[in-house]
Structure 1
Amino acid sequence: MLPATALALGVLAALLAWPVPAALARARWPRRDPLAALVCWQAIGLAGGLAIIGALLVHGLAPWGHSLPEAWWHWVTRQPSAEPVRGDHWVAQTLAAVLALELLGVLALSGVRTARTRRRHREMLELLVRPGAAAGDEALLLDHPAPVAFCIPGARPLLVLSSGMVAELDGAQLDAVVAHERAHLREHHHLLLLPFVAWRAALPVLPAAERAHDGVRDLVEMRADDVALRSLSGPDPRRTLAVAIVAAAGGAGGQVPDGALAVTGGPVAVRVRRLLAPPDPLPTPARWAALAGAVALLLVPTLLLLLPALV
């Protein structure tokens, strides 16, 4: 039974490594519901890692039992294998261990490095910024002529606006920028990005890793736009936010600290078009179908690994 399980997991891993991420990256519906699309991307990443490591592990332990729990227990307790152990079984075990350690290690290392970088930038900025009453109680003011706005997440988050941004925008536009950055902090978008930063670093030759990182990065910016709009008033909050994004993009480009989330993140032109000509919301049945698909992606490899032990 384990060889069939390994084959099924291998096929699933191959699908999640290329065609499924490619299809989601090309799809139009994520722009209509960034939150549901973010859930799908997280499910693809988790299920893909579980499938490839599970396929290798199941194949490597197949001679020791008819299910993964049984085979693992027999292997750990050094019981004799029921079938001959070939070289490919040892190779599969080694690859499973190496891949698991690499993915988890790179994730931990990326988290530590990002936290250290953010802490260093935070400590430096705290020496340079001052309260900015014109930009709201939460935002701090950085003396810089270019229009810049960003937030540094963490245990002590910072929301920073430059003096150039305050001079460039009116009160409503500044409120829109602050609302966008506040959405990043409140919804912990940096945590949604971290696994895909690690995936890209661990598997740089895999096109899906780059595609997934870019897709998630773009979607968190669209999600922050959507959340910001809910708190904005005025006759045309969408145009207000779009003007603020264009002003920041035209004056600052990418002049933000590493590890920060900026109002100019992601595809600015796409975001501005989406604000000025918003797509129709994703219908409720389609949204639930996307969420159900994400849950199914997580359940399939889990069931493939555990079901043989129950039959």
Structure 2
Amino acid sequence: MLPATAAALAVLAALLAWPVPALLGRARWPRRDPLVALVCWQAIGLAGGLSIIGALLVHGLAPWGHSLPEAGWAVLRGHPAVDPVRGDHWVTLTLAAVLAAELLGVLALSWARTARTRRRHRELLELVVRPSPAAPDARLLEHPAPVAFCIPGARPLLVLSSGMVAELDDDQLAAVVAHERAHLAEHHHLYLLPFVAWEAALPVLPAAARAHAAVRELVEMRADDRALASLRGPDPRRTLAQAIVVAAGGAGGGVPSGALSVAGGALGARVLRLVDPPAPLPAAARAAALLCAGLLLLVPTVLLLLPAL
């Protein structure tokens, strides 16, 4: 059973490394429901990592048993292999260990570096910002460029520049604040972290960069949607679009690394989506997309455990 399981996992890993991310990246429907699309991207990343490491591990442990749990338990207890152990078994076991260590290590390192950078920026900003009259939870930074961003974390910080406050009217400013609050409320930085690590760990894989860019665009669109739900006024979509255009003029400076900004990610696509909104994704299509995401996670898990059942 194990050779067939390893082959099936390898095929799944190959599909999730290139064609599936390419198809999702080119699809038009994610802009109709960014949250569902984000769930699909997370499933692709998790299932892809599980599949490639699982394929290597299953092949490497094949001489010790007829299922992965059986073989793994035999190795842990020091039992001898049932079948001859060839060089390719040791190679794949080594590759599985190296790849798992690299992916988990890069993820941990990316999280630590980003957290340290955000903490440093937060400490510096807290020395120069003051309470903003625009919102009780916002801080005002004296800066001529129109800039708005939030720094997520245990002590989140929402910052508006004086240039932003001067250039926007009250409704537009409320739209910007609502957008940044959406990032913090839904912890969008956690959606991005696995793909930052994926791109850093596998820079030669084009799908990694494509996935990171797509997820960054989708979290901004999701924050737009969440902001619109809390806005009032005759035309909240146009109000938010105008605010994004103004913020784009100051996007080049003032936004620290690791922050989430209203001017981040596919500005043109976001503005077009606001002024000419696509039709919402039908309930059946949403259910189908979520089902596919669930199956992506279920299939490699079943392939790893099914021979033991």
TM-score w.r.t. the length of structure 2 is 0.99
Q: Kindly indicate whether residue 135 of structure 2 is the aligned counterpart of residue 136 of structure 1.
A: yes
What stretches of structure 1 of length at least 5 have no aligned partner?
A: none
Alignment RMSD, CA only?
0.7
Other-structure match for 2:190: 191
CA distance in 2, matches of 1:186, 1:74: 46
Please, which runs of 5 or more residues in structure 2 have no aligned partner? none
**What is aligned with 1:206?**
205
State the match for 1:253 in structure 2.
Answer: 252
Alignment partner, residue 288 of structure 2? 289
Q: CA–CA distance in 2 between the matches of 1:249 and 1:237? A: 18
Matches within 5 A, 1:14-25: 14-25=14-25
Tell me if structure 2 keeps the 8 A contact 1:248–1:264: yes
Shift of 1:75: 1.5
Q: How does 1:139-218 map to 2 (within 5 A)?
A: 139-218=138-217
Taking the aligned partners of 2:6 and 2:220, their CA distance within structure 1 comes to 38
Residues 75-105 of structure 1: CA distance to partner in whole angstroms, max 9, x if unpaired?
Answer: 2222121111110000000000111111111
Q: Which amino acid aligns with 1:32?
A: R
How far apart in 1 are the matches of 2:243 and 2:10?
Answer: 47
Give distance in 2, aligned partners of 1:86 and 1:302: 26
- Amino acid corresponding to residue 234 of structure 1 in structure 2: G
User: Which whole-Å CA distance do the structure 2 matches of 1:39 and 1:289 have between them?
Assistant: 12
CA distance in 1, matches of 2:25, 2:61: 35
Give the aligned partner of residue 121 of structure 1.
121
Query: How far apart are residue 252 of structure 1 and its match?
Result: 3.3
> Could you tell me whether the CA contact under 8 Å between 2:12 and 2:48 is conserved in 1?
yes
Match of 1:30 in 2: 30
Q: Distance in 2 between matches of 1:115 and 1:16?
A: 29
Q: CA deviation at 1:254?
A: 5.2
Aligned partner letter, 1:21: P
Match of 1:85, SS? coil
Query: What's 1:240 paired with?
Result: 239
In structure 1, what is the Cα distance between the partners aligned to 2:64 and 2:251?
Answer: 60
Contact 1:110 1:194 in 2 (8 A): yes
Secondary structure of 2:217's counterpart equals helix
The separation in 2 between residues aligned to 1:6 and 1:38, in whole angstroms, is 28
1:69 counterpart letter in structure 2: P
The CA distance in 2 between the partners of 1:190 and 1:294, in whole Å, is: 20
Equivalents in 1 of 2:76, 2:183: separation in Å? 45
CA–CA distance in 2 between the matches of 1:241 and 1:21? 30
Q: Distance in 2 between matches of 1:127 and 1:298?
A: 45
**In 2, are the aligned partners of 1:180 and 1:263 still within 8 Å (CA)?**
yes
CA distance in 1, matches of 2:77, 2:233: 69
Does 1:74 find its partner at 2:74? yes
Which residue of 2 is the match for residue 44 of structure 1?
44
Distance 1:182 1:251 in 2: 19
CA distance in 2: counterparts of 1:269 and 1:94, whole angstroms: 46
For 1:132 and 1:283, locate their aligned partners in 2 and report how far apart those are by CA, in whole Å. Answer: 40
What are the residue-to-residue correspondences of 1:56-75 with 2, within 5 Å?
A: 56-75=56-75
Does the CA contact (< 8 Å) of 1:153 and 1:190 recur in 2? Answer: yes
> Partner amino acid for 1:35?
L
Task: Decide whether aligned partners of structure 1 residues 174 and 45 sit closer, same or farther in structure 2, where only a CA change above 3 A counts.
Answer: same
Q: In structure 1, what is the Cα distance between the partners aligned to 2:86 and 2:251?
A: 59
Q: Give the letter aligned to residue 6 of structure 2.
A: A
Distance 1:254 1:104 in 2: 33
Q: Is the partner of 1:159 in helix, strand or coil?
A: strand
Shift of the alpha carbon at 1:251?
3.1
How far apart, in 1, do the equivalents of 2:299 and 2:307 lie?
13
Aligned length: 309
The structure-2 alpha-carbon separation of the partners of 1:59 and 1:254, relative to structure 1 and needing over 3 Å to count, comes to farther
